[in-house]
Amino acid sequence: MNPIVSPCVNVCEMDEATGWCRGCARRLDEIAGWGSVPASRRQQVMAELPARQAQMQRLGRWLGPLPGAGEGPR
């Protein structure tokens, strides 16, 4: 079984309007608890990230990698 890697891209700046990190699109509680929550919860968060990233791109707040830019999760 492969572990679910963190989507962190080392761009850690929280967006006040959405409550999401502008680099990985996770909330603070998701970031802080990443290593201790069940894999099922991490999978759920990972599934939500593309929509969050797209919303932040539309708002001009996204600082993370663009889709297809070659930057993967760390």
User: How many helices and strands (H and E) does the chain possess?
Assistant: 2, 0
pLDDT in tens, 5-55: 999 999 999 999 999 999 999 999 999 999 999 999 999 999 999 999 999
Report how far residue 68's alpha carbon sits from residue 29's, in angstroms, rounded to the nearest whole number: 27
The yes-or-no verdict on residue 74 having pLDDT over 50 is no
Half-sphere exposure of 21 (CA within 13 A, CB side): 22
Name the helix (H) or strand (E) containing 40: helix 39-59
Report how far residue 59's alpha carbon sits from residue 74's, in angstroms, rounded to the nearest whole number: 25
Report how far residue 18's alpha carbon sits from residue 64's, in angstroms, rounded to the nearest whole number: 15
